[in-house]
Amino acid sequence: MNVHVAVQTQAHRLDSNTAAFARDVLDGLTKPQKELSPKYFYDDTGSELFVEITRLPEYYPTRTELGILRGRAAEIAALIPPDAAIVEFGAGATTKIRLLLAAHQVAAYVPVDISGDFIITQAEALQRDFPQLAVHPLAADFTKPFALPPAVRDLPKVGFFPGSTIGNFEPQEALRFLESARDILGHGARMIIGVDLEKDENVLVPAYDDAAGVTAQFNLNLLIRINRELGADFDLSAFAHRAIYNRDQHRIEMHLVSLRDQSVHLFGERIGFRAGESIHTENSYKYSLERFRALAQQAGWTPARCWTDADAMFSVHAIETNGSRV
Which positions ≥6 away from 280 have C-beta within 8 Å?
33, 34, 35, 36, 253, 254, 255
Minimum CB–partner distance for residue 297 and ligand AVI (Å): 23
CB closer to ligand AVI out of 10 and 217 = 217
Identify the helix (H) or strand (E) that includes residue 183.
helix 171-185
Handedness of CA 122, 123, 128, 129 (dihedral sign): positive
Identify the helix (H) or strand (E) that includes residue 176.
helix 171-185
Footprint of ligand AVI (CB under 6 A): 53, 61, 163-165, 167-168, 208, 215, 282, 284
CA dist 86 and 111 (Å) reads 8
Report the residue closest to ligand AVI, judged by CB. 284
CB closer to ligand AVI out of 165 and 278 = 165
CB closer to ligand AVI out of 22 and 36 = 36
Longest dimension (CA), the chain: 61
- Are the C-beta atoms of residues 162 and 151 closer than 8 Å to each other? no
* The amino acid at 108: A
Minimum CB–partner distance for residue 134 and ligand AVI (Å): 28
Minimum CB–partner distance for residue 53 and ligand AVI (Å): 5
- Are the C-beta atoms of residues 292 and 170 closer than 8 Å to each other? no
Minimum CB–partner distance for residue 174 and ligand AVI (Å): 12
CB closer to ligand AVI out of 282 and 320 = 282
Minimum CB–partner distance for residue 324 and ligand AVI (Å): 26
CB closer to ligand AVI out of 85 and 166 = 166
